[in-house]
Amino acid sequence: MMSDLKSCFTSIQRPSITEDGLPQTRLPNALYRNEMWPVTTVLCVPRYCSTTLFDRVLEFKYGGVIPSVESRKDTASTRIHETSKKEENEDEEDEDEDEDEEDELEHSTTTMHFINNGGSNTSNTSTSNYLTPLDFQPVVDEVVQRHPGLEFLSSLAVFQARYAETVITRIFYSKLNNCNERMTLPEFRKHPFLHLLINLQLDDDINATRDVFSYKHFYVIYCKFWELDTDHNMIIEAPDMSRYDRGAITEVMMKRVVSGCGKPLSLGNKSGQVSYRDFVWFMLCVEDKRKTGSIEYWFRCLDVDGDGVLSFHELQEFYAHQVKRMVDYRMSEPWKFDDFICSLIDLIQPKTPSHITLRDLKRTPPQNAALFFDMLFDLRKYDNHVRRIDPMYREMDDVVVEEDGGRRKVRLEGWDKFAERAYELLAYEELDCGGGEDNVEDDELGEDEKEIVKKLVSYRSGSDRGSGGDVGGNLNRVRSYRNVSIEELGFVDGCLFFI
């Protein structure tokens, strides 16, 4: 392995003149931040973890603290030359240990992501047994900055930051026990994050798969948020939230949502304000109520007294608001509550017929759990359930896409179905309105902002994380010209295996 690592350093080729027309000043036999991809290949690490790996090596070398660029300015070149002198004496010993190191790396491939993002999370040390959203930031940032399929976002700062925030929120939404923002080692091992990163290396089309990195899904979420965020300050007030899906969700349930009953709000449960991250979570839950995280979310909203069970009294309160809306919209005559509760019992088959628990909802088929929630507070989706009894409507309502070059067709369900249909509708509206300029509801948008909308829909444009606030934490302090020597990399496998 050491010989392969050495080749990563010795084989690096740089032009004598930089892109700015200046002489090349980078040190020989040293790798800089954006040159670590060959090392990730040798270490069997996903390519887009190179930034995290770079920072972890430096953190390991400097005792858990990544020094500033200025503090290393005088020692950088000396360190490299000292390393080169030691290599000849250590070659034999390194070659003997290659097989043991390769065995260790097979295990470290899974655990290596349990690395704080270059020391930017000062409250979380490298020995922590969980990850936070901040730990995923440098990995997702590298995807945003370097994936060919996201090159069209290379000049739009705001959208890069929002895209990264969307991806990280979806990662934590899909983990076990998603009510908290800590991912443990068992949860990480069961999460498909590593496989998703590897898939990004295999295909330049960011929409080739419908996962957390899909640009289509991000675009749908952001457009829905922008539609409700009338003053565009990245915060949705409670009255604006009630307009979601043209007011399909009952007012009493939406009050529970904006009070943080389903999940604590980023800005505080008493604020009544929904941030972009909160909205992403809400939208994933409301558009696919079959998922475990969504079932838990809506159960907490329905459990008004917080006793862990849904009593008939609680269900009657929510159903009363649903009945009122059904009457207002002149839908078919609503059931009486006694008949309604009997249908719910038949649908869920709870262990104890006097109440419904979270375990009952998780045990029932997912489509039954989704129907249970829709009957209580989501009028539009409940109406869709009823209409799908008609075979002709069901055929019209299905969303089928082609995969493998048209060799097979897949019928989408849940979130994927919603996102695909919503994206097609947004793209059609944009095309029908001449690229977006006539489709902007706010006349206050300037020409630059209108151009941004056009670029996003037509898949051309870009990046700048800075506008996203301190999304990278202290990572920005160590971004510039730093190098990792071969000797430092010699410690990487031991460090990763220990973690």
378 phi and psi, to 5 degrees? -115, 95
- Residue 428: both structure tokens together: 């059609």
Which residue in 176, 364, 282 sits closest to 356, CA to CA?
364
**pLDDT the model gives residue 377:** 96
Distances (CA, A) of 277 to 30, 161, 293, 375: 39, 12, 15, 27
CA distance 348 to 346: 6
Please give the average per-residue pLDDT across 418-427, as a whole number. Answer: 92
For the entire predicted model, the pTM comes to 0.76
Q: Which residue has the tokens 């249908």?
A: 343
CA distance 415 to 422: 10
2-205+472-498 is classed CATH 3.40.50.720: no
Indicate the domain borders of the chain. 2-205+472-498, 229-395
In sequence order, the 6+-apart residues with CB closer than 8 A to the CB of 137 are: 117, 120, 164, 168, 471, 472, 473, 475
Please give the average per-residue pLDDT across 296-304, as a whole number. Answer: 96
Cβ atoms within 10 A of the Cβ of 282, count? 24
- Residue 78: both structure tokens together: 């000396």
Bridge partner residues of 311 (DSSP): 355
CA distance 129 to 302: 33
Is 311 buried (19+), middle (13-18) or exposed (0-12) by CB count in 10 A?
A: middle
CA distance 136 to 262: 24
Q: Is the pLDDT of residue 45 over 80?
A: yes
Q: Name the average pLDDT for the chain.
A: 76
Q: Is 356 left (phi over 0), alpha (psi -120 to 50) or beta?
A: beta
Assign 16 a pLDDT band (cuts: 50, 70, 90). low
CA distance 77 to 5: 19
More confident: 311 or 17: 311
Which residue in 135, 137, 154, 156 sits closest to 145, CA to CA?
154
Q: Is the pLDDT of residue 114 over 50?
A: no
301 phi and psi, to 5 degrees? -70, -35
What percent of the chain has a predicted confidence (pLDDT) above 70? 68
pLDDT by residue (tens digit) across 314-368? Answer: 999 999 999 999 988 887 788 899 999 999 999 999 999 999 999 999 999 999 9
In sequence order, the 6+-apart residues with CB closer than 8 A to the CB of 232 are: 226, 442
pLDDT by residue (tens digit) across 364-387? Answer: 999 999 999 999 999 999 999 999
Which DSSP category does 49 fall into?
G
Amino acid at 118: G
In sequence order, the 6+-apart residues with CB closer than 8 A to the CB of 103 are: none
Is 473 buried (19+), middle (13-18) or exposed (0-12) by CB count in 10 A?
A: middle
CA distance 320 to 328: 13
Please give the average per-residue pLDDT across 179-192, as a whole number. Answer: 85
Distances (CA, A) of 215 to 58, 222, 464: 33, 10, 17
Please give the average per-residue pLDDT across 14-33, as a whole number. Answer: 66
**pLDDT the model gives residue 23:** 61
CA distance 95 to 249: 65
What percent of the chain has a predicted confidence (pLDDT) above 90? 43
Q: Assess contact for 155 and 463: CB atoms under 8 A.
A: yes
- Residue 143: both structure tokens together: 């995807």
Distances (CA, A) of 466 to 67, 136, 141, 462: 21, 17, 11, 13
Please give the average per-residue pLDDT across 251-280, as a whole number. Answer: 92
pLDDT by residue (tens digit) across 198-251? Answer: 899 988 888 888 899 999 999 999 999 999 999 999 999 999 999 999 999 999
Q: Is the pLDDT of residue 272 over 80?
A: yes
DSSP SS3 for 291: coil
In 219-269, which ranges are E strands? 235-237
Q: Assess contact for 48 and 146: CB atoms under 8 A.
A: yes
Which range, 48-62, 170-184, 293-307, has the best average confidence (pLDDT)? 293-307
**pLDDT the model gives residue 26:** 66
More confident: 30 or 290: 290
Q: Is the pLDDT of residue 5 over 90?
A: no
- Residue 342: both structure tokens together: 């009997």
Please give the average per-residue pLDDT across 275-303, as a whole number. Answer: 96
Least confident interval from 26-40, 109-123, 167-181, 239-253: 109-123
More confident: 263 or 116: 263
CATH entry, 229-395, from 1.10.238.10, 3.30.450.40, 3.10.150.10, 3.30.70.100: 1.10.238.10
Q: Is the pLDDT of residue 415 over 70?
A: yes
Q: Assess contact for 81 and 484: CB atoms under 8 A.
A: no
